[in-house]
Structure 1
Amino acid sequence: MRLPLMAFEPRSANSWGLETVRAISEKNVALAEGVTAAQLSLLQSATGFWFDIWMGRAPGLLNSVAIERSMRAALKPAGLRVKANYRRLSRKK
């Protein structure tokens, strides 16, 4: 949906159109949010490691639950941006 808008931008005087700048900045922000969320998720799993050991449970770091949580946390900001962009670009003007 965004590609046709971006295709016509180089024909204008300014080669960096509003939609191109917005697309790039949104992707950078989503990447930063995803990396931060993944790191916080892994930190939370590492913090709970010894508590899980003491409680007799299998720690999340050993049975790949921590990695799955981290991946889900990393992808969530990008998914939210994609949905928001779809709603923004698909509404009728």
Structure 2
Amino acid sequence: MARTRKSTRRAVGVAADLMLAPAVIGMRMPLLAAEAQSGNGTLGVETMRAVTEKAAAMADGVFAAQVSMVSAAMMFWPELLSGRTPSLLSGAAVEKAMHEALRPARRTVKANYRRLRAK
């Protein structure tokens, strides 16, 4: 029961942070439009930031998920020999990997919201 509550709180936290994404898009669109209308032929600062931070967050998330799964794989035999259900078989490892994969996106969305709110 305690694991379910913790899992539910974690899922609610992920959802709450990612719900800021539409607000970030809405705050970013006028900046992107102004950069597009400048007509200098180069990508603006906000445009480059929008593209690069998404790629960086995705790469960080993939790496974090892989590290989490490798860690769970390394703990398979110790968990099994201690009488516990291995997290790879119970699904806990996949759930943890999913949360680890979303952590960089959550951080990026929150940081963008704070930064764009100040403008």
What's the TM-score, normalizing by structure 1?
0.94
Q: Report what 2:33 is aligned to.
A: 7
Q: What is the CA–CA distance in structure 2 between the aligned matches of 1:11 and 1:2, rounded to whole Å?
A: 14
What's the TM-score, normalizing by structure 2?
0.74
Q: Which amino acid aligns with 1:16?
A: L
- Please show how residues 12-91 of structure 1 align to structure 2 within 5 Å: 12=38, 13-91=40-118
- Between Structure 1 and Structure 2, the one with more helix by share is 2
Q: What is the CA–CA distance in structure 2 between the aligned matches of 1:81 and 1:38, rounded to whole Å?
A: 17
Query: Identical aligned pairs, as a percentage?
Result: 50
* Number of matched pairs: 92
Structure 2: gaps (5+ residues): 1-26
> Which runs of at least 4 in structure 1 moved beyond 6 Å after TM superposition?
none
Q: What is the CA–CA distance in structure 2 between the aligned matches of 1:7 and 1:58, rounded to whole Å?
A: 53
